[in-house]
Structure 1
């Protein structure tokens, strides 16, 4: 969801909107909401705007807990800020939406307050990849939102949708691909392992990682653009200049709905499912409110609301949701996803980046 993460930051607290919209008669309930409050860190731009408009007001209405949304910087800058603030006993946000890799890195300093699963009513309905645990089993984070990177094509150029990630390697697609430019956000090693080596477990060893890099290097003659600027690739995809590649399922779907000649395909090996967690800073004094918030956000109806209004994939089992088949397909798939190997990006980041530079980007 990089396209969304890099958007302009837009700050608006739910409470200020509530005060403007209510009269004097409502003041006692507003004061009660002020008594109970929570700072929630979310990705800036479109994400924050959507949560401010559609999600946080409903939470406040249901619980009486006012939310101040905090726009998080991208990358690991927010993790560093939270860590430094926690050392000083401060919490820039009580609850934050945190990437899987940053969640793992925060575990190493016990930055996250363990979440009590007994206080999360729908805990048992969460898909297993959306429960992030400390090595000793304590729960460090619970899935907040998810999104997919899929195989995308221009429908004017490709009349038939590809069915497999193998299309990236097809010599017929020479100089036609747009692929993400970093090992840690393209997840192409995982795609290669799932497509050619039986699954991402093939990346457990350095030998397996080298094999995946060697196979992935075979795709280079087909790549027209290694992109960091999502808008650049999106435009080239729409025009047919770069008619195939990997991109965000929801954004591609929105473009198709606007009449653009583009499609998003979940290959038979699965789309790449990336996601973020809700985590609680150890410096927060709002543990009770934080648990109420995470419990609320994990309800089927709220997961459905986020899918409809924010475009995120649900973190709960499909049969627990109130989404129609069409609504579910707009944000997700029943094909088992390719789950990134976040553990490798925390333990072998420098080595992987070096090999990527040598074998792929060089």
Structure 2
């Protein structure tokens, strides 16, 4: 065994290396940071959403943002397995992700379902053949969003307000057929707004076309915010607190009302991308989003607020953000969001059942151009 002599110079050198490492911890950490990829709607990988998880696990989440489920599916079809570690999707598209083999099967025991309201223990669409493929992160209701200076809550209690003469050239549309046609289908009296036969589909098209003289325009996310805030439009069907909650932060006098005919529920979820080399880390991320801490974070995202399925998360919202909690329907007693679901006033947003999705999309395009 060779003899080792530890000289003063060697001690000084080793001490300098150690001091340098302590002086530059961010550089050392950056060298060992793991990168994860996320395919998502905008906002889901911004610092307010992921910074706590990134710091805890020394990971950097890199997003690829999409607009609409069709674009999400197209991006996945064009990408080799393993491109995206996490996939954030609306519930109605999860079954398509499963059938296209784009997502991994999940173990239900890994997630905080016991903390969720019972309605979300086995949420429709997230399971296939009794196996789990997506975990709900948050949700919200769509009805009528309106400027309270122009349209009262009482007036907005029926979708008929859209045809009121005083709202001529003041109705706006978020430019997506599923939420708009869904709420107008409820107005037509369809108990299952997305599962309608030929006669009901013809009636829905007629109803929608009859609204066109009232319509000011069709808007993207930013346009919806600016048009409602400025008063360019005063009433919009098929949107909800995900818009009016953001506007109230800026002092706008707006709200969302669920009409007596009912409302539509949008539902967001996370899945693990097929072939992910970081599946264990992706699983930890979904565990975080379903935990009470992660749920509170998701309820208050900068991109827009939303309802969460976590009972503990509700308690924290009620205690720390009571006004926001009330607007979102996260309060105790009659009329809260869970109560509306249990009374049958809320219908889960789906893809059309008896028509092709292309039929709805083609009609929407024709409606916009009339």
Decide: shared fold, TM above 0.5: yes
Equivalent residues, number:
328
- Is the alpha carbon distance of 1:56 and 1:156 closer, same or farther for their aligned partners in structure 2, counting shifts above 3 Å? closer
> What is aligned with 1:3?
none
- Is the alpha carbon distance of 1:66 and 1:241 closer, same or farther for their aligned partners in structure 2, counting shifts above 3 Å? closer
- Is the alpha carbon distance of 1:328 and 1:166 closer, same or farther for their aligned partners in structure 2, counting shifts above 3 Å? same
Identify which of 40, 51, 71 aligns with 2:38: 40
> What is aligned with 2:317?
323
How far apart in 2 are the matches of 1:196 and 1:168? 13
1:351 aligns with 2:366: no
> What is aligned with 2:74?
80
Where has structure 1 moved over 6 Å in runs of 4 or more?
none
Please report how far the alpha carbon of residue 279 of structure 1 lies from its aligned counterpart in structure 2 after TM superposition. 1.5
How far apart in 1 are the matches of 2:236 and 2:367? 19
What's the Cα RMSD here? Answer: 3.4
Runs of 5+ consecutive residues of structure 1 not aligned to the other structure: 1-21
Aligned ranges 1:1-362 → 2 under 5 Å: 24=23, 30=29, 34=33, 38-44=36-42, 47-48=43-44, 51-62=45-56, 64=57, 66-75=59-68, 76-86=70-80, 90-122=81-113, 125=116, 127-128=119-120, 130=123, 132-133=125-126, 135-158=128-151, 162-184=156-178, 187-200=179-192, 203-225=195-217, 227-246=218-237, 247-310=239-302, 311-318=304-311, 321=314, 322-324=316-318, 325-332=322-329, 334=337, 335-336=340-341, 337-344=346-353, 348-357=356-365, 362=370
Please report how far the alpha carbon of residue 138 of structure 1 lies from its aligned counterpart in structure 2 after TM superposition. 1.9
Give 3-state SS (helix, strand or coil) of 1:218's partner. Answer: helix
Give 3-state SS (helix, strand or coil) of 1:263's partner. Answer: strand
Runs of 5+ consecutive residues of structure 2 not aligned to the other structure: 1-20, 330-335
Q: Which has the larger radius of gyration?
A: 2
- Is the alpha carbon distance of 1:142 and 1:33 closer, same or farther for their aligned partners in structure 2, counting shifts above 3 Å? farther
Please report how far the alpha carbon of residue 348 of structure 1 lies from its aligned counterpart in structure 2 after TM superposition. 0.8
Please report how far the alpha carbon of residue 300 of structure 1 lies from its aligned counterpart in structure 2 after TM superposition. 2.3
Which shows bigger deviation, 302-311 or 232-241? 232-241
